[in-house]
Amino acid sequence: MKMKFLASPVLLSFLLAAPVSAQSINAAGATFPAPLYQKWFGEYRAAHPSVSINYQAIGSGGGIKQLTDGTIDFGASDKPMSDQELAAVKVKPLHFPTVLGAVVIVYNVPGLKGTLQLSPASIAGIYLGQINKWSDPKIKAENPSASLPDKPILVVRRSDGSGTSFVFTDYLSQVSPEWKSKVGANSMVSWPTGLGQKGNDGVAGMVKQSPYSIGYVELLYAAQNKMTFASLKNADGKVVTPSLESVTAAAAASKGLDKDFRGSIVNAPGPTSYPISTYTWLLIPSRIPDAGKRKAITDFLAWMLKDGQKDAPGLSYAPLPKPVAAQVEKQIALIK
């Protein structure tokens, strides 16, 4: 006699559903692109409910450290990892450029009308502690029609390991031999002067609430906080306002990225290039043993390079140039 097996309604619904394994991915790092990353991860989860990417904006230095310690699935940084940093990681990470952005010089000078213009020499002088009043002759010469107060400059800078600081100090190292020899470029440096604050939001908040202050933040943080920011004299001697167009011009005029997608585009030539422009990167392990997690991350990267780029301009980032995005996409296949 043949036996018949009758599945219960609950068991039948379970079998028919064939659920997809949920993936919870942890990432941490740069505050510079954090507003865009949070938007991307939210959009991606809405379209792919089984994938949750949890991102902690703790600074580029923190992201590199946690990646090195193996406590996160991937990191994020505005500073490409050095050969020494790469050698310290158990599984070598791959650099994935995501978007382009600008580091801007924000200031709070009550009563100052118009846009402040600054040269590389003035910016370096302020952060070296050599220019300490708004009425300094160098600043006056660059802003002849401005009424600059005889007030001390309150210098604000990052206190944490910061990719934004790396970009800023990389720029200063390229435009000021004195800065290069005395301080150099890194995510954390021995600052000659300044009040330290954590994160782009910390610097923006301190400058906004402190009269006669100056600081450096990512363009979006300046826009969100309705802050004024300076126009800068670039490598061609032209005064340029930070914008998506001037950041894109810097990328187009620079020597480009290395074959592993590391590199700097600060102080790029060209009359319309904004001088403190940068790529920002996701740091993805080249080997991810968990097949489900590997698929979730590689699928996200493909989405980010194609669909995610459209979100960049609305948050004051410039999308990757299409030739760069096409080359970066090929790197996804290297993740095993």
Tens-place pLDDT, residues 219-239: 988 988 899 999 999 999 999
Q: Which pLDDT belongs to residue 133?
A: 98
Q: Which pLDDT belongs to residue 254?
A: 87
Q: Which pLDDT belongs to residue 256?
A: 76
Q: Which pLDDT belongs to residue 22?
A: 87
Tens-place pLDDT, residues 161-180: 888 999 999 999 999 999 99
Nearest of 203, 191, 37 to residue 104 by alpha carbon: 203
Domains delineated in the chain = 25-101+278-334 (3.40.190.10), 113-276 (3.40.190.10)
Tens-place pLDDT, residues 231-290: 999 999 999 999 999 999 999 998 878 889 999 999 999 999 999 999 999 999 999 999
Q: Which pLDDT belongs to residue 4?
A: 44
Cβ neighbors of 9 (< 8 A, separation 6 or more) are none
Cβ neighbors of 1 (< 8 A, separation 6 or more) are none
SS3 assignment, position 167: helix
pTM for this prediction: 0.86
Tokens 């400059």, residue located: 153
> pLDDT in tens for each of the 336 residues of the chain?
444 444 444 443 433 443 446 899 999 999 989 999 999 999 999 999 999 999 999 999 999 999 999 999 999 999 999 999 999 999 999 999 999 999 999 999 999 988 999 999 999 999 999 999 999 999 999 999 999 999 999 999 999 888 899 999 999 999 999 999 999 999 899 999 999 999 889 999 999 999 999 999 999 889 888 999 999 999 999 999 999 999 999 999 988 788 899 999 999 999 999 999 999 999 999 999 999 999 999 999 999 999 999 999 999 999 999 999 999 999 999 999
Cβ neighbors of 138 (< 8 A, separation 6 or more) are 119, 121, 122, 125, 131
Token pair recorded at residue 116: 């402040």
